[in-house]
Amino acid sequence: MSTTVADGGRATAAFDVARVREQFPALAQQARGRPLVYLDNAATTQKPRRVIAAVAGFYERDNANVHRGVHLLSERATAAYEAARDRVQRFLNAADRREIVFVRGATEGVNLVAQSYGRPRLGPGDEVLVSAMEHHSNIVPWQIVCAETGASLRAIPINDRGMLRLDEYERMLGPRTKIVALVHVSNALGTVNPVAWAAERAHARGAVVLVDGAQAVAHQAVDVRAIDADFYVLSGHKMYGPTGIGALYGKAALLEAMPPWQSGGDMIASVSFERTTYNELPYKFEAGTPHIAGAIGLGEAVAFLQEIGLDEVAAHEHRLLDYATERLAAVPGLRLVGTAPGKAAIVSFVMDGVHPHDIGTVLDMEGVAIRAGHHCCQPLMERLGVEATARASFGLYNTTEEVETLVTALGRVREVFG
C-alpha cells in the first residue's frame, strides 16, 4: 500500500504506514497506560480488520462442514475453504493446488514430513542435516525420527555473525544425506539463508529439502519453484492471519508417494473392515474437520499482503531495520547478536549486567512489547555464548517513532539496573 509523492519532479512510491496501521485495531490500544508499541512480530503478528471479519463472517453466515454437505451453507463453506487454498498456491507460486496441504502451522508441517516422508525412508547410517540456527520445531521432529530409524541428525555450523557456514554445508553433504531441513529466515537472528543455493547443492547429492518459511512469508516474496524446495512450511499467525492454521507445500510426486500421517474422516476414498483406500491430494493429509475459519482467514491474510505488495513491505522493514540497528548501537552497554548482511527485520541484543527477561519486563512497563528468552533456539544460544537475548521484531505496521520509543525505554532499563 503506497501513495505517490514528488521527489525532484520524479514520481516515487512511499509506503503509507499510517494507512496500514489504521487496519489493525489492536495497535490503537494502550499497554500499562502508554500507547502500545508492538515489536513481537516474530512470535505472532496482529490481525487486520479484514482477516477478523473473514473469520467472524464464516461463523456468522456460512458455518458448516466442508466437502461432504449438499446444502447451501456447506457449499459456501467449501467454496471459501478451497478458494483459500488457491490463494496460498498463487502466493507461493506452487505448480498445482494439490500441492497445498492445510495444517495447524509450520510445526505440524515439519512433523508431517518427518513422519510421512522421513520415517519410511531413513535407516541406519542415513543423515538428516539441519542448521545450528533452527527453531526447536525443525530439530525435535527430526531427532524423533532419527531415533526411531537409526539415522543421524547433523547440524550445519554457523559463524559468529549468525551466518550459515556454506563451506561446511557443502562438505557435510554426502551419499548418506537424505534430507536437508533448513530455516529460510532465522526467528532469533533475522539471518536470511540462501535456500535456493542450498537446495541446488542438496539435490545434486540426491537429498530432498524442506524449508521452514514461517519467518519469511510475511516479509518477502517467496517462490517455491524458484527455490526448488521439495517441501515448504508456513504459519498463518506470523503473516497477519489466524492462529492454528498454516500450510505445507510439497511437490506433488513426493506427496503422492507418502502415506497419510493422520487418519479419519475426509482423508479416505472408501472404507471397509478389510481395506481402506485414501483420498486424492491434498485431502489425503487433511484428516477430520479442518480449521475452516482459519483457512479462510489465512486466505484473507494472503490477499492483504498481496494487495500491499511484499516488495514494498520488504523495503519498509529494511528501512526500519537499518534505523533500529543504528540507534541501538548507540545505547551504552548494548550488544547486537546476529549481524548477518541482508538480514530480515529482527534485532536481538543483550545488555551488560541485565538479564533479557528484566529488559523485557521494564520495556513492558513502558508499553513496549518485545520477546526475551532463547526463542526456542537453545542450541543457537549455546553456539553464540548467551543464555538468552532480547528481541525486537518488526512488521509492516511499525514506525521509526516506535524505534525511538524502544530506545528511550532501553534508557529506562539502564536507569533501573545501573
Q: Cα(272)–Cα(228) distance, rounded to whole angstroms?
A: 39
DSSP 3-state of 66: coil
pLDDT at 5 over 60: no
Q: Cα(185)–Cα(287) distance, rounded to whole angstroms?
A: 30
The secondary structure of the chain in percent helix, strand, coil, rounded to multiples of 5, reads 45, 20, 35
- What's the average model confidence in pLDDT over 29-58? 98
As a CATH number, domain 52-307 is 3.40.640.10
pLDDT at 7 over 70: no
- pLDDT of 267 reads 85
As a CATH number, domain 2-31+309-417 is 3.90.1150.10
pLDDT digits (tens, 9 = 90+) for 283-342: 999 999 999 999 999 999 999 999 999 999 999 999 999 999 999 999 999 999 999 999
Q: Of 376, 379, 383, 414, which residue is the catalytic one?
A: 376
Residue 376 is among the residues annotated as catalytic for this protein: yes
Compute the mean pLDDT over every residue in the chain, rounded to the nearest whole number: 95
Which of residues 210 and 70 earns the better pLDDT score?
210
Q: What string of DSSP letters covers 89-146? A: HHHHT-S-GGGEEEESSHHHHHHHIIIIIIHHH--TT-EEEEETT--GGGTHHHHHHH
Instruction: Kindly indicate the confidence band of residue 14, based on its pLDDT and cuts at 50, 70 and 90.
Output: low
Domain boundaries, the chain: 2-31+309-417, 52-307
Which of residues 24 and 276 earns the better pLDDT score?
24
Q: What is the CA radius of gyration of the chain?
A: 22
Global confidence as pTM? 0.95
Instruction: Kindly indicate the confidence band of residue 94, based on its pLDDT and cuts at 50, 70 and 90.
Output: very high
- pLDDT of 13 reads 47
- What one-letter code names the amino acid at 323? Y
